[in-house]
Homo-oligomer: A and B are copies of this chain.
Amino acid sequence: MKGNVIVGQSGGPTAAINSSLAGVYRTAKDRGANKVYGMLFGIQGLLQERYIDLSEYITNDLDTELLKRTPAAFLGSCRYKLPEIHENKDVYEKIFSILEKLDIEAFIYIGGNDSMDTIKKLSDYAIVTGYRTRFIGCPKTIDNDLALTDHTPGYGSAAKYIGTSVKEIIRDSFCLEYGKGLVSIVEIMGRNAGWLTGAAALAKGEDCLGPDLIYLPELPFDIEAFSEKVKDLLAKKPSVVVAVSEGIRLADGRYVCELGQSVDFVDAFGHKQLSGTANYLASYIAGEFGCKTRAIELSTLQRSASHCASRVDILEAYQVGGAAVKAADEGDSGKMVVLQRLSDDPYQCGTEVKDVHKIANDEKVVPREWVTEDGSYVTDDFVSYVRPLIQGDVSPVMVDGIPRHLYRKN
């Protein structure tokens, strides 16, 4: 490479997004890039000319390893959608004037659907106006809902955390006996796509029965059928564990988490506080059967638990970052790196680049045939798909008992 590279992170953070950043940095340096800039808080920060020279932060190989093990977005992230080109050219001219000033040859953006929309628009603008910067997208999202790629970096680590945590919750749930049984409802992220919730099935193995029921947001949720299933399970076993997506909805389109308004608390200012999906279902089941219930939200940790990251995921995230730089260096623009699975057993996966116009703003959901007919579990095919993505561990660098991260002063 002759010029410089700039890289940004966008959208919700993950445990693997910084590994892609490390891959971008190392590959750009290896291919002769002079400077590798990091935009702070994505394209939104770049518009305010907020960026750093990454070589000031990544000074040696240990820093690279720490970066790969640091959760969330090292550079900061944003949720910002560029206007359409015809609506506001000024924004584009501003961005390109900054890129020109910094002598940017390759612009790499690590993110999800909205970020690929940014890559699409910027590369379109460059082509139309003759700017020479090349734009490559690098996929990232725990939700695994990006089109065309077999899976998305960030998903494997989140899936591993979910499988591990659900298994530990199941162990916990059999400790104490309650007269009418115990029902634990675990709420998992994923508003429209059930990839994360389905990963609860990974808890199942020779030493664990796994969760009893799994409900994805792709199918309408029937609260009476659910209640019936719980009743049957309680007749057979003392503890029932259910994994639900935060985004499950009734057939009429209402979110389950909206249903609890009447029983849930109103805050000090009179605002109705929506209880979570798990909270609502736990109180519903307690009311129906008089059993003990508990609601557990895996919450923010499912996207930031680097201490439980998947080695496959962290390595693939790194490779994808490197492949993005390589593609730009070889002349590609308006493309996203995708992961292409070559084989399931043994698992083999390579990278390719695909036209970002075919990806942006498209949402990949779990196929209907990977959910059981009655919609209360995922199939073996789902598990075979996700299992290779959670293999291997990334030992955290422990300092005084706690994982060390690479730190950028805010």
Contacts and interface: CB of A to CB of B under 8 A. Distances in A.
A72 interface: yes
Contact of A208 (B207, B237, B299, B405): B405
Contact of A177 (B76, B260, B261, B300): B76
Contacts of A303: 172
Contacts of A293: 267
A97 to B, nearest CB: 23
Contacts of A328: none
Contacts of A400: 205, 387, 391
Contacts of A391: 400-401
Contacts of A273: 260, 279, 283
Interface string A278-295: 011001101101111111
Contacts of A406: 207
Contacts of A275: 295
Chain multiplicity (copies): 2
Interface string A384-406: 00010011110000111111111
A206 interface: yes
A267 B296 contact: no
Nearest to A276: B265
A308 B393 CA distance: 13
A402 to B, nearest CB: 5
Interface stretch (A119-127, A133-141, A160-168, A334-342): A160-168
Contact of A174 (B76, B276, B401): B76
A289 B12 CA distance: 24
A307 interface: yes
Most B-side CB within 10 Å, residue of A77, A163, A207, A404 = A207
Contacts of A245: none
A177 B78 contact: yes
A169 interface: yes
B301 A169 contact: yes
Given A169-B304, A175-B77, A304-B171, A401 B407 contact: no
A293 B265 CA distance: 13
A352 B160 CA distance: 40
B305 A405 contact: no
A266 B101 CA distance: 58
Residue in A41, A177, A202 with the greatest tally of chain B CB atoms within 10 Å: A177
A158 interface: no
A220 interface: no
Interface in A9-59: 12-13, 41, 44
A130 to B, nearest CB: 33
Q: Counting chain B CB atoms within 10 Å of each CB, which of A78, A266, A304, A392 scores highest?
A: A304
Contacts of A70: 171
A321 interface: no
Contacts of A355: none
A90 to B, nearest CB: 22
13 contacts: A13-B172, A41-B177, A76-B176, A164-B307, A165-B305, A171-B405, A206-B399, A208-B407, A260-B268, A264-B265, A271-B283, A275-B295, A307-B308
A399 B237 CA distance: 26
Contact of A73 (B175, B206, B276, B402): B175
Given A13-B176, A168-B305, A207-B407, 10 more contacts: A172-B303, A202-B401, A207-B405, A259-B268, A263-B265, A267-B292, A268-B290, A273-B283, A296-B300, A308-B308
